[in-house]
Amino acid sequence: MSDLSQLIVAPILLPLITAAIMLLLGEKHRHIKARLNLLSTFSGLAIAACLLLWVRTQGQAASIGVYLPGNWPAPFGIVLVVDHLSALLLTLTGVIGFSALLFARARWDGAGASFHALFQIQLMGLYGAFLTADLFNLFVFFEVLLAASYGLLLHGSGRARVRAGLHYIAINLFASSLFLIGAAMLYGVTGTLNMADLALKIPLVPEADRGLLHAGAAILAMAFLVKAGIWPLNFWLVPAYASASAPVAALFAIMTKVGLYAVLRLWTLLFSGQAGASAHFGGEWLVYGGLVTLAVAAVSILAAQRLERMAALSILVSAGTLLGAVGFAQAALTGAALFYLVNSTLALCALFLLAELVERSRSANEAPLDEEEDAMPPPLESLHPPKGINLDDEQQVVIGQIIPWTMAFLGLSFIACALLIIGMPPLSGFVGKLNLISALFNPLGLGVPAEQPLSAAGWGLVALLILSGLASLIAFGRVGIQRFWKPEERPSPVLRRYECLPIVILLGLCLILSFKAEPLLRYTQDTAASLQAPDAYIKAVMAAQPIPGPTSRDVQVQP
């Protein structure tokens, strides 16, 4: 890892330096800051992709990179770690961030102050949360990304955003308090906050202190589950995400995955099968909490009328599916869940961006657009039908009527998003759900009989996966008819390149996953295998040594 060791800290330093430069520029030079933001975000994505390729090409035992920012060994100093899981989520964050920023360039980056600086700080918090290897710095990066998200949620002002923002801030401050309490209790019992060191010390905790250990872990898990969107602690999520501006809501699509990542990382590391009396502590709570979240979200999506709320509720459907699957502690199921995580995050990000354009198509948006020379060509509904075409009583073309290209783009994109989220074939959403169901029935692989029959919770997850897809099919079908099929006299929206391009990128990636799913499935299965056997992670962190400084013999005394 010597050739890439310095690259591990780059995803954190790059947005930090970029945000500092933007703040020095002030509120002027918006175009300069926008270009700098795009360059920095794309560079962060490229760095994350390099780390992903590195962990993929290395052997299973050597694919963990460790960086010591303070040059102190674990558990005394700060540690940054990149492995299969963190590299995957770093790359996913880079893709989501770059797509959301492209969309914001059309109009939203000028709707408030310090958008670009807040955007970079948000990315820094996300990257740091996925890379850090100790609880204290995980709390620090959580607070960094939350502080930036407060400003981004209120970006563009409006009563709905302010009201939802107050609830969002209050519940996240409460979750942060739980984080501190839980971390303090774990430190009191074990004497450390380093994740790898915690994994070594938890099996050695005396029986008299094990109740305090479990209480601290439960309180800490509550903080993560609030951010992951588990029911009933997710009442804040739908109003906040539905009220946020489109690029901010798209970036927030990865926010719930931070809570899920923390649960997955700490649960498989601290309470693995090697944790003694604490092995798999809380697993049933994750399973049944995920099932209830999935069921409530599936019912709620049937009542949703606005596309933004449907997208926010679909995030809860995804959160319930992932939490329930992770709680089974099966490598095959966890690998399928990680594939589903990638696909659903990309699709939901595209849906949040698309929702604004679809709503704009319902009523002409009179907000001025800057740089009109970048606007897309005008819609084609002004073309008159040629002579000889049959017209109805209202002088409308009966057959061969021209569909404006803007509505065609929105309609096809909506169909693609709906199919991905519902899980209909042949797109990657179906591949993800099919692999989840297959892993439930065949945890040891196809053709290998399971040691035990499928449990009641397993049957419940299979049923809810099917029923939630049916509920989403009904909801998206209803909204699609109202938005695209119902005849209404309204002008087609004016779309710009910056608004269309990110949607094309996100749906294009999902299309690639639909036909080239095997490489990602192999990667996620390797990731799940490493999570279920955390010895390599622990050894890599604890064995990392500081870089030795110059000795007296190396220093040349100047005369």
Q: What is the DSSP string of 4-50?
A: TGGGTTHHHHHHHHHHHHHHHHTTS-HHHHHHHHHHHHHHHHHHHHH
Alpha helices for 327-455 (secondary structure H): 331-362, 405-422, 428-441
C-alpha to C-alpha distance for 213 and 186, rounded to whole angstroms? 6
Q: What is the distance between the alpha carbons of residues 467 and 401, in angstroms, rounded to a whole number?
A: 37
The pTM assigned to this predicted structure is 0.85
Give the dihedral sign, CA 289/294/300/306.
positive
**Cα-only R_g, the chain:** 25
Distances (CA, A) of 349 to 87, 181, 311, 329, 495: 19, 33, 9, 28, 18
Q: Give residue 487's pLDDT.
A: 56
Report, as ranges of residue numbers, the positions in the chain whose pLDDT lies below 50.
Answer: 1-2, 61, 363-402, 552-553, 555, 557-559
pLDDT at 395: 41
How far is 30 from 27, CA to CA, in rounded Å? 7
Considering only CA atoms, which of 237, 235, 265, 266 is closest in space to residue 252? 237
Question: Looking at residue 110, what is its pLDDT?
Answer: 66
Strand partners, 132: 80
DSSP H helical ranges for 84-206: 84-104, 115-131, 135-153, 159-190, 195-201
Q: What is the pLDDT of residue 291?
A: 92
The letter for the amino acid at 143 is E
Residues 6+ apart with CB under 8 A from 555: none
pLDDT, residue 373, reads 38
Q: Residue 246 contacts by C-beta under 8 Å, 6 or more apart in sequence?
A: 103, 108, 352, 353, 355, 356
Tell me the residue type at 533. A
**Separation CA 473–CA 306 (nearest Å):** 15
Cis amide bond preceding 493, omega within 30: no
Cβ-proximal residues to 61 (8 Å cutoff; 6+ apart), any chain:
536
Structure tokens at 85: 């899981």
d(Cα 256, Cα 345) in Å, to the nearest integer? 10
What does the block give as tokens for 331?
A: 């490598």
User: 480: closest CA among 491, 472, 470, 489?
Assistant: 472
Cα(227)–Cα(188) distance, rounded to whole angstroms? 25
Which residue reads 């092995």 in tokens?
279
Contact 65, 8 (CB under 8 A): yes
What residues does each domain of the chain span? 3-364+404-486+494-543
- Smallest Cα–Cα separation from 125: which of 259, 228, 226? 259
The C-alpha torsion from 428 through 432 and 437 to 439, rounded to 10°, is 130
What pLDDT score was predicted for residue 351?
92
pLDDT tens column, 166-219: 888 888 889 889 999 999 999 988 888 888 888 888 888 888 888 898 899 899
SS3 of residue 84 by DSSP: helix
Residue pair 273/357 in contact by the 8 Å Cβ criterion: no
Specify whether the CB–CB gap between 146 and 176 falls below 8 A: yes
| Rounded alpha-carbon distances, angstroms, from residue 218 to 183, 208, 223, 353 | 10, 17, 9, 36
Alpha carbon distance 354, 348 (integer Å): 10
How many other CB atoms are there within 10 angstroms of residue 383's CB atom? Answer: 9
CB-based contacts of 288: which residues, under 8 Å, 6+ apart? 324, 327, 457
Q: Which tokens hold the place of 309? A: 């709320």
- What single letter denotes the amino acid at residue 218? A
Torsional class of 281: left (φ above 0), alpha (ψ -120 to 50), beta (otherwise): beta
pLDDT digits 0-9 by tens, 417-426:
989 999 888 8
Instruction: Compute CA 371 distance to the chain's CA centroid, rounded to the nearest angstrom.
Output: 32
Best CA proximity match to 105, nearest among 510, 506, 501: 501
Upstream peptide bond of 426 is cis (omega within 30 degrees of 0): yes
Which residues have C-beta within 8 Å of that of residue 188, sequence separation ≥ 6?
A: 212, 216
Residue pair 390/397 in contact (Cβ under 8 Å)? The answer is yes
Give the Cβ contact number of residue 96 at 10 Å.
Answer: 27
- Nearest residue to 124 via CA among 93, 86, 82, 168: 93
Q: In sequence order, which residues have a C-beta less than 8 Å from that of residue 515 and are 6 or more positions away?
A: none
Sign, Cα dihedral of 95, 306, 358, 385: positive
Single-letter code of the amino acid located at 112: G
pLDDT score, position 112: 65
